[in-house]
Amino acid sequence: MSTVVGFVGLGNIGKPMALRLAGQQQAANLELWVYDVAPDPLAEAQRAGAQVAPSVAALAQTADVVCVMVRDDDQVRAVLDEVLGVARPGAVVVIHSTVAPGTPPALAEAAAAHGVRVLDAPVSGGAMGAADGTLALMVGGEPDAYAAAEPVLRALGSKVVHAGPIGAGTRFKLARNMMHFIAFTAATEAQRLAEAAGLSLKDLGDVVRHTDAVTGGPGAIMHRETTAELAPDDFWHGVFTNVTSLGVKDLGFAIDLAHELGVDVPLAELAIERLGPGLGLPTTSVPAPASGRTKAEKEGEK
């Protein structure tokens, strides 16, 4: 028996996700139905082999797994309201949308009264990852619901993490995206410094992408099970002492250059203070920068 999958929401990421499932129907033993309010993506999905449902309710009547990739919490709630009146007992609703942390547990509680199970499974990897099946999916929910939906999840992505109970997937995604967008903001700070220094921003971007692919970028330091302070005999103490020493040195030079060029770099000034403690080093063991004093400190010396 094929697993009947309903997919609601064929937007920028939802459409390539649905198209990916359409192409995986035979290999993954799936039968795909899709629904969206816009006709064009429905037609594209139909050409790819999906069947088009006339409504969310019609889709949900026969689906074993309903994937939801709509815009926001209100739309997710509206879809679930339509699903719950008609879904089979034991059906699994998978919320791929990134929603507020409290939304998945509340929806799971409402669905349980109808015999429907809920997973929150937001994704990371963008439209490109959705198209080629390399998304990361961060999943929260009960083991039985996860097991029922796992073949669908693995057809969608190459990295599937069952992070814990309902809501864990959303919390996982928010932590991941917090780092993502803070890093974007740091990149804009570095761009301003590079531009003021007369450098090519495109070349800087090429170098960043090249070296991050080699070193792993920020994820390279994320191998510990805890953020607690490191013991002196911990393997990572030596590694992170070296990382911090290099980081404090280079951040200090960069901050001095920024001050010389009249560029504000508040994230860099925060990072030079927090890098070592953030990596788990006691404050007393964090090397002091030879330079890199904040603008306020320098003005106070005048």
Total number of residues shown for the chain: 302
- CB 65 within 8 Å of CB 8: no
CB hemisphere CA count around 4 (13 angstroms)? 15
302 flagged as catalytic: no
The DSSP annotation for 18-85 comes to HHHHHHTHHHHTEEEEEE-SSHHHHHHHHHTTPEEPSSHHHHHHH-SEEEE--SSHHHHHHHHHHHHT
Q: CA distances (Å), 157 to each of 34, 145, 223, 248, 281, in order?
A: 19, 18, 22, 38, 36
Q: In which residue are the tokens 């803070």 written?
A: 182
Q: How many helices (H) and strands (E) does the chain have?
A: 13, 9
- How many other C-beta atoms are found inside a 10 Å radius of the C-beta of residue 105? 16
d(CA 178, CA 42): 33
Given the residues 159, 173, 249, 302, the one annotated as active site: 173
Q: Quick one: which H or E segment has residue 136? A: strand 135-140
d(CA 108, CA 76): 12
**Catalytically active residues, by annotation:** 173
